[in-house]
Amino acid sequence: MAYQLPDLPYAHDALEPSIDKKTMEIHHGKHHQGYTNKVNSALEGHDFADLPIEEVLTRIKEVPENIRQAVINNGGGFANHKLFWQVLSPKGGGEPKGEVADAIKKTFGSFDKFKEKFSSTAAGQFGSGWGWLCVDDSGNLKVISTANQDSPYMHGLTPILGVDVWEHAYYLKYQNRRPDYLAAFWDIVNWDQVEKNYQDAK
Ligand SMILES: [Fe+2]
């Protein structure tokens, strides 16, 4: 069955002023739709098309070589954006809650130290990519960045929070000022969802 572009869980202008309406319209309606269409066309007729995209990416080495890069680019793009919309909320911001808050404190020393590491990792990703908070197979938290649309699932990691640092995510409002976009990102993080993702992952 073909993957479907998920609806945004809020209006296009709901994340303002952190992310502007026009950016959201293009990002969701054009970019995410594009990845969705292209992964469907790459996987058409393959057994992998019936699996959740997260499983396809985890098993990426088994995907036939002639379509593997297309699945990495577009299946990654499909999955990465699907998570991204979920971990944002107009009612977001503030501090983490629940067990993930304790795990962040234990792993990074404090929430502020985690924020600093996550932001600098995302800011330092050269070119297009993503910043992530992931859970590894021992249940430990890890901050990483990935290039292009590479997914943490391909590295055996489960992403629970991500930020898109492709220019298409911020250029209209912030131009080249990626750090300003990253600073505004913290005001819209949906920590309830991050806690849920953490519980599901560990
Ligand atoms: Fe994006």
169 C-alpha to ligand 1 centroid (Å) = 5
Output the tens digit of pLDDT for each of the chain's 202 residues.
699 999 999 999 999 999 999 999 999 999 999 999 999 999 999 999 999 999 999 999 999 999 999 999 999 999 999 999 999 999 999 999 999 999 999 999 999 999 999 999 999 999 999 999 999 999 999 999 999 999 999 999 999 999 999 999 999 999 999 999 999 999 999 999 999 999 999 9
Q: What is the pLDDT of residue 58?
A: 98
Q: Separation of 109 CA from ligand 1 center, angstroms? A: 30
Residue 135: what pLDDT?
Answer: 98
Report the alpha-carbon distance of residue 47 to residue 9 in Å, rounded.
30
Ligand 1: distance of its center to the CA of 24 in Å?
A: 10
Evaluate whether 177 touches 82 at the Cβ level (below 8 Å). no
Question: How far is Cα 109 from Cα 98, in angstroms, rounded to an integer?
Answer: 16
- DSSP-derived letter for residue 187 is G
pLDDT at 177: 97
Distance (Å) from CA 141 to ligand 1 centroid: 23
In the reported structure, the alpha carbon of residue 166 is separated from the centroid of ligand 1 by a whole-number distance in angstroms of 6
Spatial separation of the C-alpha atoms in residues 169 and 41, rounded to whole Å: 24
- Quickly count: other Cβ atoms within 10 Å of residue 162's Cβ: 26
Tell me how far the alpha carbon of residue 27 lies from the centroid of ligand 1, in angstroms: 6
- State the angle between helix axes of 191-201 and 98-108 in degrees (0 to 180), rounded to the nearest 10: 80
* Phi, psi for residue 37 in degrees, rounded to 5: -60, -45
Q: What separation in Å is there between the alpha carbon of 131 and the centre of ligand 1?
A: 12
Distances (CA, A) of 52 to 8, 132, 163: 19, 20, 21
Please state whether the predicted TM-score (pTM) of the whole model is above 0.85: yes
Going from the C-alpha of 159 to that of each of 97, 152, 171, the distances in angstroms are 17, 6, 24
- Quick one: DSSP state of residue 75? I
The DSSP string of 122-185 is HHTS-SSEEEEEEE-TTS-EEEEEEETT--GGGGT-EEEEEEE-SGGGTHHHHTT-HHHHHHHH
